[in-house]
A = this chain, B = another copy of it.
């Protein structure tokens, strides 16, 4: 892998890595319906606010969300709505994986 390709893959990986966490996926899913304050997200997720704040910082660093201050609250919103398009494909992969597992079990049952 030449240097140029490596750098491009690293940049891409950074974006994917930012989304590759249950809480952060949930945040993205939630923000797709409109902006949210950190407190709201914290309540929905159910863990420490500092944890949520750090997840949001990661998403922001990746360019997936952006923040807006209003008085003492900070509202986050989705700046890259195209990531919502990932979910259809991911659900497909999950379904396909499940199907494969069923087939494997069937094959074992068949054999016995």
Q: Which residues of A contact B (CB under 8 A)?
A: 1, 5-6, 9-13, 15-17, 19-26, 29, 44-46, 62-64, 79-80, 82-83, 85-94, 96-97, 100
Knowing A83-B89, A93-B15, the reply to whether A22 touches B9 (Cβ < 8 A) is yes
12 new A-B contacts, CB < 8 A, other than A13-B21, A17-B21, A83-B89, are A1-B26, A1-B45, A6-B22, A13-B19, A15-B90, A16-B25, A16-B90, A62-B97, A64-B93, A82-B88, A82-B93, A86-B86
Query: Which residue in chain B gives the minimum CB-CB distance to A17?
Result: B20
Task: Tell me how many chains of this kind the complex includes.
Answer: 2
Knowing A9-B26, A12-B87, the reply to whether A80 touches B93 (Cβ < 8 A) is yes
